[in-house]
């Protein structure tokens, strides 16, 4: 019997995040172009006396270790559906910023789900794993599949997208987190009385991704949540300006923020932008990486 399973799961950046008006259920319809990037959490599952969660990494103190943790919820839901005892120790080695707009919590949910499915030998069909992911949160299905995808509905209905090359990114972690519901509420407040158009994916952006053309991607990236994130966290404008001044082709807030994302023309320029952001003193930490990255993967 397998005694321990580790799954590696990537973070994401939204190269387009088109947000519609609030729906009756409080969610927003999205046209959400996800791109998985090479920052990873690892979730390790080991049989134990009872379900417990531990976490290590720079942001570990901010991670809830109770049953609200998406990793715990994923294990419980798979166990419920298959009549398995969810007595496991879930350990999260966390490298994705917490409350950062990079789907770190979603990554842990998808990782725990795949890890438990492997440990328990439940062999759930892919469709069922995706269904559990969608139940856990809007971004969780993408954490499982990785690569690039267009998410519609509240972001959970995925269509895989072609990516024709490597894109180079710099991410600047902010001094504090932002709550996703709070950012959506601010979006609603700022758009009160405004007729918010239906969210539609940009064909030019999808073409840029398919060609692997960083200049074209830089011209087409957009994030409708950015004004709301900047309204709640005005200092992010300084980080965006510092990255642009250092030669980033595009600078944007990642998802609901507050992590900021900078697209660079090549690996060398990305390192230059990274050094400039560190020197600017406008962020807590800087990471240089590439995309696309694979989805949740069993290691070893």
- 91, 154, 168, 287: which one binds ligand C5P (CB under 6 A): 154
Q: Which of 85, 139, 188, 266 is an active site residue? A: 139
Q: Which of residues 10-39 bind ligand C5P (CB under 6 A)?
A: 27-28, 30
Query: Shortest distance, CB of residue 17 to ligand C5P, whole angstroms?
Result: 10
- Tell me if 115 is assigned to a ligand binding site: no
Determine the size of the site formed for ligand C5P (CB under 6 A). Answer: 11
Contact between 255 and ligand C5P (CB under 6 A)?
no
Q: Is 139 a catalytic residue?
A: yes
- CB contact set of 174 (below 8 Å; sequence gap of 6+): 100, 233, 236, 239, 257, 258, 259, 260, 283, 284
Cα(168)–Cα(214) distance, integer angstroms: 8
Contact between 180 and ligand C5P (CB under 6 A)?
yes
- Tell me if 105 is assigned to a ligand binding site: yes
Site stretch for ligand C5P (CB under 6 A), options 90-98, 136-144, 224-232, 285-293: 136-144
- 86, 101, 109, 137: which one binds ligand C5P (CB under 6 A): 137
- Tell me if 155 is assigned to a ligand binding site: no
Q: Which of residues 262-281 bind ligand C5P (CB under 6 A)?
A: none
Query: Shortest distance, CB of residue 221 to ligand C5P, whole angstroms?
Result: 19
Site stretch for ligand C5P (CB under 6 A), options 83-91, 134-142, 194-202, 222-230: 134-142
Contact between 77 and ligand C5P (CB under 6 A)?
no
Exposed / middle / buried, residue 271 (Cβ in 10 Å: 0-12, 13-18, 19+)? middle
Contact between 181 and ligand C5P (CB under 6 A)?
yes
Closer CB to ligand C5P, 106 or 282, in the complex: 106
Catalytic residues: 12, 139
**Residue ranges binding ligand C5P (CB under 6 A):** 27-28, 30, 137-139, 154-155, 180-181, 184
- Residue ranges for the known binding site for ATP are 97-107
- Residue ranges for the known binding site are 97-107
């Amino acid at each position: 019997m397998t005694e321990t399973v580790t799954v590696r799961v990537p973070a994401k950046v939204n190269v387009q995040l088109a947000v519609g008006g609030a729906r009756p259920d409080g969610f927003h319809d999205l046209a959400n172009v996800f791109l998985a990037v090479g920052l990873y959490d690892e979730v390790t599952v080991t049989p134990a006396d009872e379900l417990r969660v531990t976490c290590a990494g720079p942001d570990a103190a901010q991670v809830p270790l109770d049953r609200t943790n998406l990793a715990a919820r994923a294990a419980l839901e798979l166990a419920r559906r298959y009549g398995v005892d969810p007595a496991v120790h879930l350990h999260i080695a966390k490298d994705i910023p917490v409350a950062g707009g990079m789907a770190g919590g979603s990554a842990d949910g998808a990782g725990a789900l795949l890890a438990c499915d492997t440990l328990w030998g439940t062999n759930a069909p892919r469709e069922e794993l995706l269904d559990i992911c969608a139940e856990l949160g809007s971004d969780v299905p993408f954490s499982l599949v990785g690569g690039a995808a267009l998410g519609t509905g509240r972001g959970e209905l995925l269509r895989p997208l072609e990516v024709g090359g490597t894109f180079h990114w710099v991410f600047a972690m902010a001094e504090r987190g932002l709550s996703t519901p709070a950012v959506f509420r601010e979006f609603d407040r700022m758009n009160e009385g405004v007729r918010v158009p239906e969210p539609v994916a940009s064909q030019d952006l999808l073409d840029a991704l398919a060609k692997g053309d960083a200049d074209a991607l830089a011209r087409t990236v957009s994030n409708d949540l950015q004004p709301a994130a900047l309204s709640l966290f005005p200092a992010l404008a300084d980080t965006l300006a510092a990255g642009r001044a250092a030669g980033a082709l595009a600078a944007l807030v990642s998802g609901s923020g507050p992590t900021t994302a900078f697209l660079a023309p090549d690996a060398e320029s990305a390192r230059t932008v990274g050094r400039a952001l560190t020197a600017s003193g406008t962020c807590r930490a800087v990471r240089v990486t590439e995309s696309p990255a694979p989805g949740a993967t069993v290691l070893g």
